[in-house]
Structure 1
Amino acid sequence: MTAPPSATAPTILSARGEDFALLARLLQLYLHDFSEHTGWDVDEHGLFHYAWLDAYRHEAGRHAYVFRVGGPTAGFALVREAERIHMAEFFVLRKYRRAGVGLAAARLLLEAHVGPWSITQLATNPEATSFWRRAIPVPFEETVQADGTVEQRFTIDRH
């Protein structure tokens, strides 16, 4: 998957083999950023834990992606397919934020997975909600769930 050519157009690659070590390191940055909203702490070794990364390597219906701009890594996404397709995690390195990288990457990923989608954000993270409202390229329903999350539901059709 690639976006139209530009200085900040990301290339989205399916994670393979050694990419999972990269994803584990990027997850530390993501979970650090996210801890502002969750209150999570690092362990005694200074690490955050993400229990599901290995599932993205081995389980059907789970897809891990790495974003690159030119050669450098710019972010990642973890997508889970069940009765709906769910953006489990989505992260863009700070250097690439507000440059269109996240928006382009999100739209490429959404279009790559045809079907009914659900994307959730914590209500305490209005920047994420604002981002997804812009990124979703089709009409969507938005609800605030009892657990304190904001959810957008929509369907991506085959072009």
Structure 2
Amino acid sequence: MYEISVRLAQTTDRPTMERLWLLFRHDMSEFSGALPNPDGTYRRERLQAALSQDDWAPYLLTSGRSPVGLACVRGLTGPVRVLSSFFVVRAARRSGLGLRAVREVVAAHPGPWEIAFQDSNAGAVAFWRRVATELVGDAWTEEHRPVPGRPDLPPDTWISFDAPAGVGSAPPGRA
């Protein structure tokens, strides 16, 4: 089992976060059909927002000295927190690391949460339903919503739940 450290990404983590973002978007291209930009990168507006806007929180996931994933949360000052992006490298998947990371991120921001995923991503469907159940039992809902500005795509599936203070483990700190 991998050990996990979850911490808010710092300015010095930007290059690592950008590389993890490329891996994440590459994985997601299987479900979104998105091709890379001419320079080999993928759209990264959400990552840029997470790294620069006050209403966002970017998290770097590490195991020892190795970066193993990222999480980007938006809506910190609004009524609902949204796990906008979540990624764990393939070598660390199905180890329990992802669930432990989500617990820490959610614990840092108690209150209403929403998480979106695609039904065509069977791994994500099982993972996010398990996460919701582990965090709040059966006190979560699921609904389909159209992807804004993308009528060509199937609707996203959204899980919603209310994370009371103290759910998960202690909140991650700044390093």
TM-score, L = length of structure 1: 0.90
Structure 2 CA distance for aligned equivalents of residues 126 and 150 of structure 1: 12
Is residue 2:110 matched to residue 1:114? yes
Is residue 2:145 matched to residue 1:151? no
1:144 CA displacement: 1.9
Choose which of 4, 8, 13 in structure 1 pairs with 2:2. 8
Map of 2:172 onto structure 1: none
Choose which of 27, 35, 39 in structure 2 pairs with 1:41. 35
1:102 CA displacement: 0.6
1:152 CA displacement: 0.8
The percentage of aligned residue pairs carrying the same residue is: 29
Which blocks of at least 5 consecutive residues in structure 2 are unaligned? 148-154, 167-175
Is residue 2:53 matched to residue 1:59? yes
1:103 CA displacement: 1.0
Structure 2 CA distance for aligned equivalents of residues 53 and 127 of structure 1: 23
Choose which of 80, 84, 95 in structure 1 pairs with 2:80. 84
Structure 1 runs of 4+ with >3 Å offset: none
Which blocks of at least 5 consecutive residues in structure 1 are unaligned? 1-6
> Number of paired residues?
153
- Conserved? CA contact 1:77–1:91, under 8 Å: yes
The alignment's C-alpha RMSD in Å is 1.3
- Conserved? CA contact 1:9–1:100, under 8 Å: no
Which of the pair has the greater relative contact order for Cα pairs under 8 Å at 6+ separation?
2
Structure 1 CA distance for aligned equivalents of residues 69 and 106 of structure 2: 16
- Conserved? CA contact 1:67–1:73, under 8 Å: yes
- Conserved? CA contact 2:21–2:47, under 8 Å: no
Task: Please give the secondary structure, in 2, of the residue aligned with 1:131.
Answer: helix
Change over 3 Å in CA distance of 1:126–1:57 after alignment to 2: same
State the one-letter code of the partner of 2:6.
I
Is residue 2:108 matched to residue 1:102? no
- Conserved? CA contact 1:64–1:79, under 8 Å: yes
Task: Please give the secondary structure, in 2, of the residue aligned with 1:52.
Answer: helix
Map of 1:28 onto structure 2: 22
